[in-house]
Amino acid sequence: MAAGAALGLVFQEVVAVLHDAVKEVGSKALMFEPILKSLESQLGSLAPLVEDIRQLSEQLDLRKVESETLIEHMRKGEKLVRKCSKIRWWNYCFKVHYSTKLKELDEEIVKFCQVNLQVYSTRNALLAMSSMNRMLQRVDSVVESLETPRASCAVPGLRDVTVGLEMPIMELKTLLLKEEVQLLLLTAPGGCGKTTLVQKLCEDDQIKGIYKENILFVNVSKTPNVKVIVQNLFDYKRCRPEFLIQSDEEAIEQLPQLLNHIGPNPILLILDDVWLGSESLPEKFKFNIPKYKILVTSRTAFPRFEFTYNLKLLNDVDANDLFCHSASLQDGSSYIPAKEDIKKIVRGCGGFPLVLKVIGGSLRRQKEEVWRSRLMKWSDGRSFVSSDAELLACLQKSLEFQYDKDNIEDCFMDLGSFPEDQRIPVAALIDMWAELYGLDEDGVHAIANLQELTTRNLASLVMARKDASEVNSYYNDDFVTQHDILRELAMHQSSQEPEGQRPRLIMNISGNNLPKWWMEQKQLLINARLLSISTDESFSWSWCNIQAPKVEVLVLNFQTKNYTLPDFVEKMDELKVLIVTNYGFFHAGISNFQLLGSLPNFRRIRLEKVSISSLFEIVVPLKSLKKISLFMCNIGKAFENCTIQLSNALPNLIEIRIDYCNDLLELPVGLCDIVLLKKLNITNCHKLSALPKGIGKLVNLEVLRFRSCTNLSELPESIRSLHELSTLDISDCLSISKLPKHIGELCNLKVLNMKGCLRLRNSLPESTVELKRLKLVVCDEERAKLWEPIKEFLTELKVEVAEKDINLNWLPK
């Protein structure tokens, strides 16, 4: 830049000197007056540009240009002008000579002004533009942040009353302040008060004493911008980054500078409302800085985080207090309903702070008639969720299925097919989803979807402890629960189309009050793939006639002592799955099973808590039926009351599940003729004492399970013929004292679960050493010793000692 600056100064200097000389001599040398006046005029025009030329030369570090020639001419011109003042008027020769030189100088200046100076200025402008472009490139890197409003990183103040947060604050604070916890996730469904809890936590005296002014609160958007977040943090702490932040990577690189600037005091960074899909964001803010912690709130319980605090819903007392405050019932001018009515509303809100606030606020200072009208609607089965647009909009934020490739949204809405406040059997969902969405028969993908819904706090999957042999196969003891508000949300999402056009139609019938739209049509056409009908104990009507030609899954929930399958089932040609569940206290009789014989695609049936003595009183074989599940049923001699042989009635059956059927004394002999059977699961049938000797005829059997059949004393020797058997489960069969003598002939056996076979104390049969494909044995410590001599012959065998697992999850709610 020095060369450009020097050139500019020289140019400015010589112009000034020449201009002064011309003005001084012009008043004396009258003989040169015309040419000197012209020269003075040109120099006057050039004078205003001289300063600009000097500054540009200095700023842009210009190379030498044509101005150097002009400078040299001006220096000579100044000497020439000085000589003109000494020429006498009579010396004509010198006059002509000097006049010519002055005219050349004048023409040189004119040329410079007209041509060279214009080129010079253009080049300067281009150089200036180039410099400007470089500047703009840096400006562009912060355009996005300039367009985004700066957000304060201060903790927002509480704007409303809080209830029921004393214990959560204490528990959350205790966990947060543990030395090993650097990143803590606070999770709960939307509307449970996560942000409110964090705001309340930051007002805690102990937290304020530790972190003082170093609590940084960031409200994370659905599509977070790391650059903007970091820039906001710098702005909030009035600290400048070392260099301009141009990318997310540079933002994270700069952040430790800010954190060290704040230090050495402890720092708490709160990332509020992190969305699904942004779970990696909090980890970007982790640094190995002493006393630096991150608290994350999210509707999603991200499994990747080691430390998690689950915020529970409000109890009845706190929920009542929050509702009464939101409805301003403490205000003397408000209508105060009966305590029982308040309890009904509070109970319907389910402990959700958001729901309590919104519903309470909608009733604030309303007249008695409004209260009564709302109560009547809700008592008639109207949804709390759909009754308030504000509440619905807030809750729907929890439903983010933008990248749903595994039918997660469908699975969520399907949960509404089961009655409120009831457990949903995982086995029933596996049957549904295998047919509706093509999920695998073993339930691995179904479990993955349920775990995803649990992670999103949209449902709760409760799984029994799995032995090593059961991880990917046995889910009969597992169930799902869903909060009533979330169930209402699922049902609302399923009811966006007209009744006849919905892909899933869910009907909850109270008493004999059939839906108006059903009653108005003599021949109702339903295009749903899933149809769910729930009735209560007072339902006694005969079914109306409907046409449902596309229904693939039919879910029938009832509470009456006797139940009749609807006649319209007979015309459901696409029906693949039938799930019938009695939620009453006693077993219920069920009839009209003969309708199933006309269904060409009928593959699965699940019956729960029903008496099914007439199940096989059918004339037409169920040729397509592949799976039967009986749970807590009274089956008596159901398998023996067939009008035709079981093998003919069920020619393609491949799986039977019988669970908690206490009146099953002996396994029916006729089952042994169903030669295509691959899976036979009989669990928790405590009165089952004997198996038919002909069980060896089930030559295609792959899984044989008699789990917790405590009265079963032995396995028949014919089991030796089951050459396809890969899994044998006799866990918790307390009465079995020995294994079959020829068990070694089970040439494909890979897994043997004999956990809890307490009477099995003698040495194992000699043929056990022939189980060359046996990979895993699950047992207790005492039975493990019996396998020590066998392990010498079976080098790939793993004997796993099962842990004791005592819980009451299996008990009814």
Predicted pLDDT at 201: 94
Residues 502 and 649 in one domain: yes
> pLDDT at residue 617 above 90?
no
Give per-residue pLDDT as tens, 137-149: 444 444 444 444 4
For residue 807, being part of any structural domain is answered with yes
* Shared-domain flag, residues 638 and 513: yes
In this structure, of 21-25, 147-151, 524-528, 567-571, the range with the lowest mean pLDDT score is 147-151
Same domain, 83 and 186: no
For residue 370, the enclosing domain spans 316-393
Q: Is residue 779 part of a domain?
A: yes
Rg of the chain taking only CA atoms, in angstroms = 44
- Domain boundary pick from 364, 393, 422: 393
Closest CA to 753 of 739, 765, 742, 763: 739
- Give the whole-angstrom CA distance, residue 325 versus residue 214: 33
Do 511 and 594 lie in a common domain?
Answer: yes
How many CB atoms are located within 10 Å of the residue 568 CB?
A: 19
At residue 390, does pLDDT exceed 90? no
CA distance 565 to 772: 50
Same domain as 255, residue 223: yes
In this structure, is residue 609 part of a structural domain? Answer: yes
Q: Which residue has the higher pLDDT, 200 or 57?
A: 200
Sequential DSSP letters for 70-105: HHHHHHHHHHHHHHHTT--TT-HHHHHHHHHHHHHH
d(CA 577, CA 414): 14
Residue 123 has pLDDT above 80, yes or no: no
704 three-state secondary structure: strand
pLDDT at 89 over 90: no
Asked whether residue 685 is domain-assigned, the answer is: yes
Q: Are residues 577 and 627 in the same domain?
A: yes
In this structure, the answer to whether residues 411 and 539 fall within a common structural domain is no
> pLDDT band for position 35 (50/70/90)?
low
Q: Which amino acid is at 749?
A: L
- Tens-digit pLDDT profile for residues 301-317: 999 999 999 999 999 99
For residues 639 and 721, the model is more confident at 721
Q: pLDDT confidence of 443, banded at 50, 70, 90?
A: confident
601-625 mean pLDDT:
82
* Mean per-residue pLDDT, 125-133: 51
Q: What is the CATH number of the domain that holds 385?
A: 1.10.8
Of 486, 506, 523, the position where a domain reaches its end is 486
Contact 218, 271 (CB under 8 A): yes
Question: What is the arithmetic mean of pLDDT over 514-522?
Answer: 72
Burial of 7 (0-12, 13-18, 19+ CB in 10 A): buried
Residues 631 and 581 in one domain: yes
Q: How many domains does the chain have?
A: 6
165-169, 257-261, 448-452, 719-723: least confidently modelled range: 257-261
Q: Which CATH number goes with the domain that contains 534? A: 3.80.10
Instruction: Label residue 14 by pLDDT band (50, 70, 90).
Output: low
Verify cis geometry, omega within 30 degrees of 0, for the bond prior to 264. yes
Regarding whether 430 and 544 lie in a shared domain, the answer is no
Q: How many Cβ atoms from other residues are within 10 Å of residue 790's Cβ?
A: 19
CATH number for the domain harbouring residue 768: 3.80.10.10
Query: Which residues on adjacent β-strands are paired with residue 606?
Result: 579, 629
Q: What percent of the chain has pLDDT over 90?
A: 40
pLDDT tens-place string over residues 740-761: 999 999 999 999 999 999 999 9
160 within some domain: no
pLDDT tens digits, 44-71:
666 555 555 555 554 444 444 445 665 6
Given pLDDT bands bounded at 50, 70 and 90, which one contains residue 370? confident
CATH number at residue 472: 1.10.10
Question: Which domain CATH number covers 249?
Answer: 3.40.50.300
Q: Count other C-beta atoms under 10 Å from residue 748's C-beta.
A: 15
- Domain assignment of residue 335, yes or no: yes
**Is 675 part of a structural domain of the chain?**
no
- 461 and 521 share one domain: no
The answer, yes or no, to whether residue 471 has pLDDT greater than 70, is no
Please identify, among 432, 451, 486, the residue that sits at the C-terminal boundary of a domain.
486
Pick 679 or 130 by higher pLDDT.
679
pLDDT band at 297; cut points 50, 70, 90: very high
pTM here is: 0.76
Note whether residue 669 is domain-resident: no
Find where tokens 């029906």 sit.
575
Q: How far apart are CA 682 and CA 709, in angstroms?
A: 8
More confident residue, 681 or 12: 681
103 shares its domain with 191: no
CB-based burial of residue 228 (10 Å sphere; 0-12 exposed, 13-18 middle, 19+ buried)? Answer: buried
Q: What pLDDT does 136 receive? A: 46
Report the alpha-carbon distance of residue 289 to residue 269 in Å, rounded. 12
Q: Report residue 250 CA to chain centroid gap.
A: 28
Element (H, E) at 611: strand 610-611
Q: Spell out the residues 6+ positions from residue 542 whose beta carbon is closer than 8 angstroms to its own.
A: none
Distance CA 313, CA 319 (A): 9
User: Does 299 share its domain with 342?
Assistant: no
Q: Assign 730 a pLDDT band (cuts: 50, 70, 90).
A: very high
Reply yes or no on whether the pLDDT at 195 is more than 90.
yes
